[in-house]
Chain A
């Protein structure tokens, strides 16, 4: 791997520029789709069909005053928004993005890909808890506590669901998992995929699990005190995480960039976009759950189901695939 190649990975694809482009895209996409379901138009006049709206939003936020509240811990308050997007972007190197990059393999092609992925995804809510903790605001702190509760209860089924393809194919290498996938195994893994997508909503704080930043209850949760650049960075981290987790779902369960007729990044993108569409549709039609209902749901339904799913995967491996 040459220096130029590395710089390209870091700065352009799948690094900074790609993630920025994704952020611009998904924010616009979510707003526009949501508006369509609301019977509205959504961003329309800024740029062709409103496509430049997010660009202006970001540039505005970057030039706003970045407030550090008097009672907040200034170091914690300002350092976490820098660390969070970095941590959120790390799993990018574990995912095979395109046949054109590194021979179709992930940039870091390791046999522990699944493990690295779930651990790096799982560490993110901790940082968001620290934002709530450092803000010294009651609502932020409550948001932080809620995020911890949600993380602990969501990640058990998340890990178990992510394990099911690894168990089926007998490898943790994401590239191999992706290439072992076919129509039959996708069907076998479907229950696992559904559990993965449900927990994904919880880990990404998407409705109906947007409990930590519940506007009507605790103002804006851990975001409450953040302004200007810090807020932009945190939002950037959030959207990067959405990308990473949906890409992980697609790679683990739906064959990554492989598609009909040809393999390309655009297949991956299409699958991620479909997942994003599902997320927006859920956001538009379902109210938020309560914290205790979420806990009950994850521990008494989701986690046992995820374990049962593992049993099913082993059964399928032995008797259907006959390996």
Chain B
């Protein structure tokens, strides 16, 4: 039961992007197409799950005073691995995401989970927490990307759905990201109010 809770809380209740307001930079920057959003979610999921597992494994031998630098080194190792894997197997995606791949290292979600969860909990719980958090991140990123690509380019996953002459190009440009997330948050506020 507690395992399920660890997995579940990252999805909606403590959704990192829409509730805790962290990890905003990649969310807004790479959500212009669904493909980019999926690639970014996969890279972040890899880093967050691996670093959660390693931090949980090492939690008994890491001295308290220097834990933050150690977490950063663990995270940056996995970020480098993800960076080179993407460069080798998906060069187009790597080019589209650009500087945001090395910047995963300063994504507050990852260091936040290492510090707040993995450092205090066993390996299995930490892995599930990582999976839940990265699904929550993917959910937020994916829903923004679907809206933006549909309205801005008239397509989803690169498949054209209607005449692009009717598409509002502004939605795939930077302002579209701010508009989409603003309306999404207002919508969530409204839903939450209804439930209470």
A in complex with B: no
